[in-house]
Amino acid sequence: MASALLANPTYQLQPSAEQVALQTNYITNFNFLNQYLPDTYEKEFERYGNRTIASFLRMVGAEMPSNSDQIKWAEQGRLHIKYTNITSAAAINANTATFTVADAGVTYIAIRVNQTVMIQNNTTGVFNKAVVTAVPSATTFTVAYYEATGQAFAVSTQCTVFIYGSEFKKGTPGMVGSLEAEDEIYSNKPIILKDKYSVNGSDMAQIGWVEVTTENGATGYLWYLKSEHETRLRFEDYIETAMIEAVPAEVGSGAIAALGQAGVANSAGSQGIFYVVNNRGNVWGGGTPTSLPDWDTIVSRLDKQGAIEENVIFVNRGLSFDIDNMLATLNGYNGAAVGQSASFGLFDNDVDMALNLGFTGFRRGYDFYKSDWKYLNDPTMRGGLNNAAATATGTITGLLVPAGSTSVYDQIMGKNAKRPFLHVRYRASEAEDRRYKTWITGSAGGAQTSDLDAMEVNFLSERCVCTLGANNFVLFRFG
């Protein structure tokens, strides 16, 4: 059914703040064709409310300094060993067999003589248990089966193997070789963000007669003051959204030629949160999970990852409503059924009280807390993309972020450290702090740095975001 909400009024997508009180925003300009001076409200009406979107990283992350062009850390590998693409060179019912491991990226196997393994047919599920008798090469191993019937599947059948223990004869030497911990090394590089606000000295002397305010509390009757504060707020928003949206430049790309080192991947750009979770995390490709079985699928995946007890889901309005509707239905409410009532919370809703149709969280295997993410709703950012094509491939509807911190080996510090799953590293040293720099140049507004008849406010930050344990994140998108 088509929406009954008409298209007008729409929202303005272009910045509304001007540097000075021009004809388009100076409302007390007097027209001598009119008999009376128009009545004017002296305070600007904030029709769009709080327009800033920088809140996500402040809620879930932390900031810490770094003095290098590259941030590196190590994340622990799996404790147990498993390969999912192995094939046997022996025929069915054979008592021994040699397997070849063909898992992607595996150049040597961590399987040793006298370890006991379980081998399962990937298609039918039939399995054998065996003891390893030899490791002929870097990617092959030989086993002797415990079952008298021998191998339960045919030659060249694709199987999975995992180690569950070991067994030795009496009076024999111990295990050959050492099984070392396997770490995965990740890195990211900071990017430099800049912005500038400029107003000439003459315009600074012009007074606007409407009181203006901005989201950070600045107030006054000078339009240029409002514009400077909005430039600052816009820059703060970009600092955060760059950490969310940044991507590394590929070899051969125009960005490498413009900003990086030719032929060197990742020498320009950075790995933002969306990029990392898309490539190393979990992706829900159906847009919005709308039923309990959908969330059961997500919980089952989290069971196979870090099993973090508490998680926060940052959602757009569509996913927020889908979660509310799912929980309402489970709680006995059905808007289409007569005689059923909404009984959310500790007390039943009464006809004389305001009906609360929203939920802040739920527990299904783990604790999930729901939070609206303004960035995904803002029409000038990703919210506008969602409105234009709500189910378009790649449209992001939410992000699940594990709460708390994790322990990693910091390559720069050279020791283990506790870090939030999401945190920002900014360039800093004893002589220079580039977390958030601002300085004024020119000769107007009290600045005396040059003969330029203007005031220029400069902004700079150099930073990157580190997404630790991306396997514990879930990105909700279409396609």
Tens digits of residue pLDDT in 51-71: 566 667 766 667 888 888 888
C-alpha to C-alpha distance for 121 and 13, rounded to whole angstroms: 57
Percent of the chain whose pLDDT exceeds 90: 21
Which residues share a beta bridge with 463? 191, 426
Which pLDDT does position 207 carry in this prediction? 55
**In the predicted model, what is the mean pLDDT of residues 98-111?**
90
Tens digits of residue pLDDT in 390-443: 566 678 889 998 886 665 555 555 555 566 788 888 888 888 889 889 888 888
Contacts for 210 with CB less than 8 Å, ≥ 6 apart: 27, 28, 40, 41, 42, 43, 44, 221
C-alpha to C-alpha distance for 239 and 165, rounded to whole angstroms: 50
Whether residue 293 has a cis bond before it, omega within 30° of 0? no
Amino acid at 419: R
Which pLDDT does position 41 carry in this prediction? 46
Q: 345 or 292: which carries more pLDDT confidence?
A: 292
The encoded tokens of residue 130 equal 């065996």
Q: Provide the 10 A C-beta neighbour count for residue 265.
A: 15
**In the predicted model, what is the mean pLDDT of residues 326-339?**
60
Rounded to the nearest 5°, which phi and psi values hold at 183?
A: -105, 155
| pLDDT at residue 341 greater than cutoff 50 | no
Model-wide pTM > 0.85: no
| pLDDT at residue 165 greater than cutoff 50 | yes
Angle between helices 317-330 and 292-303 (to 10 degrees): 110
The Cβ-side half-sphere exposure at 208, using a 13 Å CA radius, reads: 30
Contacts for 107 with CB less than 8 Å, ≥ 6 apart: 138, 139
Q: Are 396 and 273 in contact (CB under 8 A)?
A: no
Q: Are 97 and 143 in contact (CB under 8 A)?
A: yes
Tens digits of residue pLDDT in 268-310: 889 999 999 999 889 998 878 888 889 899 999 988 887 888 8
Q: 253 or 153: which carries more pLDDT confidence?
A: 153
Amino acid at 134: A
C-alpha to C-alpha distance for 6 and 312, rounded to whole angstroms: 34
